[in-house]
Structure 1
């Protein structure tokens, strides 16, 4: 099966991630970058996706799942870093 075109990848990802606007860039080395713009200021960028690994509808579904998993992990990391305070911060003002 042929590698999907930029518009096919964007359409397939948008169908699986409906609350996000998807903008892909194809690179000469065969990789793909995707910027997902969500509601409000929610943005996520993925680079270095090897297009040859994602051929066909089943592979695009796998890519969408991998992107969602990375988004969740990223948000969890951001949330936990905001909740943590360093010992220096807790001693300020004393």
Structure 2
């Protein structure tokens, strides 16, 4: 992936994640940041992707899968924190 242009990376990720608009930024240190804008107000940002770690034809597919896993874990964390009572609302004995 380190030889792909910004547009090529965006297009390849968009093909794997069709529900999202992908906006990438390539950084001078060889990393990549991606913002995924989904339906309604669903947004997700990931930074510090080391482009050299994603070489070969399978790289974009692997990156898309990793992004999806991070999104799922993030959503699960948000949901579980919403279900927990704030510390000041703990019943006292």
Report the TM-score, using the length of structure 2 for normalisation.
0.90
Q: Structure 1's 6 and 75: CA in aligned 2 closer, same or farther, altered over 3 A?
A: same
Q: 5+ residue gaps in structure 1? A: none
1:62 corresponding residue in structure 2:
62
2:43 corresponding residue in structure 1:
43
**C-alpha displacement of 1:3:** 2.0
What number of residue pairs does the alignment pair up?
A: 91
Q: 5+ residue gaps in structure 2? A: none
Counterpart contact for 1:4–1:55, Cα < 8 Å: no
Tell me the C-alpha RMSD between the 2 structures: 1.6
How many angstroms apart in 2 are the aligned matches of 1:2 and 1:69?
22
Counterpart contact for 2:2–2:30, Cα < 8 Å: no
**C-alpha displacement of 1:87:** 4.6
Is the partner of 1:11 in helix, strand or coil? helix
Q: Structure 1's 27 and 81: CA in aligned 2 closer, same or farther, altered over 3 A?
A: same
How many angstroms apart in 2 are the aligned matches of 1:35 and 1:16?
14
Counterpart contact for 1:3–1:54, Cα < 8 Å: no
Report the TM-score, using the length of structure 1 for normalisation.
0.89
